Amino acid sequence: MISPAARDALSGWLAAQRALNGAAFNTIEAYQRDVADFLAFITQHHGEAQGLGALSRITTADMRSWMAFIRKQDVGPRSLARKLSAVKGFYRWLSEREGFEPTAVLATRSPKFQRKLPRPLSPEAASDMIETLDMQSLTPWIAARDQAVVTLLYGCGLRISEALSLIGADLPMGTALRITGKGGKERIVPVIEPARAAVERYAQICPFDITPDGPLFLGARGGALGPRAIQKVVERTRAQLGLPASATPHAMRHSFATHLLNAGGDLRTIQELLGHASLSTTQAYTGVDTLRLMEVYARTHPQGRG
Catalytic residue numbers? 159, 182, 250, 253, 276, 285
CA distances from 134 to 152, 171, 199, 217 (A): 14, 21, 13, 16
For the beta carbon of residue 2, count every other beta carbon within 10 angstroms. 19
CA 164 to chain centre: 14
**Are the C-beta atoms of residues 56 and 106 closer than 8 Å to each other?**
no
**Are the C-beta atoms of residues 164 and 223 closer than 8 Å to each other?**
no
Ramachandran angles phi, psi of 164, nearest 5°? -80, -10
Query: Letter for the amino acid at 1?
Result: M
Give helix 227-241 / helix 249-262 axis angle, nearest 10°: 70
Burial status of residue 91 (CB atoms within 10 A of its CB: 0-12, 13-18, 19 or more):
buried
For residue 238, give the nearest of 141, 156, 150, 165 by alpha carbon: 150
Ramachandran angles phi, psi of 49, nearest 5°? -60, 135
d(CA 97, CA 87): 15
CA 294, 298, 299, 300 dihedral sign is positive
d(CA 96, CA 92): 6
Return left, alpha or beta for 101; rule: phi > 0 is left, psi -120 to 50 is alpha, else beta.
beta
**Are the C-beta atoms of residues 112 and 64 closer than 8 Å to each other?**
no
